[in-house]
A and B are shown apart, each in its own frame.
Chain A
């Protein structure tokens, strides 16, 4: 490179005007990054402050869950978003991690529930149709606990009753679940007032526990004495009293249901506390049975077939059901080599209450000492248990208590528990016995008859007949002509009598005329009496001539 040539001197160039240098230590341009930093910092702080809690929800499957897409909604308002969906370590479930909005923080507590909202049909209702287009989302039901929690297990089914719905939850114990399911309605007087929230098998496997929710204001009708029963489908019962069909309505036929009712006598009780436990009865009849707390157990030992008798069969006293059969057993007495059927039954003494009598004549038979005396006295009067047929079509039996004054005397052994009640064979059995006796007698007669010497008798009879024949012949020959003559005479006399009595006979004519005269006389007498009544003076003055 050549040395840079010096430029030509340019003397005619004007001198630039010197400007005093401004000595600002901080240039204005630095305001820009400061502003940017302030805005950025404010944004960052705001984001951090607004950041809500991050939670994890464990689901069985990730169906409908999408990281960055699936929202968490409370009452259809977005409160968060699923950030990631991963497997759990044991590969048995999926874990969705979600960011929630700041406002949700206080509500993410112990009993907050999460579930995936998908279109579903259950309990006769269709829900979540919107998710068909908009995609699934996670629903939240806010809990009431104060304890915070960040890891949740998602529900497979949405909770039937959101936490904030007013009402009360109750617990029912049932023998079987039947056709019930979560979401199945609960009826009160055929009105849908609640739903089954959940059900679970008892730990010992001996029953099912159901949780039901009764919406306010209907929950006030549940008190500690309320009876719940399974109102699913059609309940057809065939018992000693005939056929009964019970149903709670079309919905319960289709999807099942629970109904409850409080007996009128219990209606005054205060409403039941939440989570009160109740028994779920099999049907209405059983549920509404009067629940007596006072009862006495008895046993009646029958020596006949009890086919048609079942536990629950009524114990009848003069047509009133005063108890029920609780158990039927068998018994063998090796000493007597005898089989018998002890039937255990229960009598509710409160049902035999003298309502209108007071004092010594009224009251109840519940005191044990009194009861002994009472039952012995009754037995002495002939109180016996008897099997009777309640329904001839089905052959259902019931136990009847009735008085048989002719029954042999029995002393009740009160040391035995339950108290034994003497029995008497059933009417049918007695009839059978009678028929048997009758048949025996007939057989005896027949055999007696066979002993009769019919051959001799026949000979005697024949001889008798012969002599009789002779007598007849003589009669025919000797008596008949005379008899004929006598008859002819009789006829003649009858004929003459007939002539005397005939209409044209002079006696008849005379008699008739006499009667007529008599009638006229009577008429004249009546005219006279009449006249005298009107003109009593005629007796003195004589009859006045009619004025012309």
Chain B
């Protein structure tokens, strides 16, 4: 299977080249954020405050890690279910967010918003927290430290494996692949 190497940030032109079904390896800076951080970011925007990160062309990884063991920079770090962020995602896409990394379905509203903003959704292997941890090279807490595992972290990744599940055209692997194997 051919592998496409991606370096973040990914601009619109590069994002448009990615197709559902592409296997990729992501390197560069990505940002973590899940339920509580999303809620806080959206509340901040509603009040007219800026986001803690400029997400233009950046990727958000839906992940809350385990604590780091001595000698490690982070604990296990696999994806969480993306669907819980669906209510918040279109607002972040409007700010320029280039894509999301997680696992599981997205709502129609999110997919439409992704198409409008040429964003990409990457699926990662859920439960593979130990393996994905080894792709993380540095970690910095960027915002909402009080949220613990749910804080926003800036992480550097190297060859982080993922699959393009929903592309900028709205092609959705959850829809297309299942049909091939259902009896």
**Chain A complexes with chain B:** no
Question: Which B residues are within 8 Å of any A CB, using their own CB?
Answer: none
Question: Which A residues are within 8 Å of any B CB, using their own CB?
Answer: none
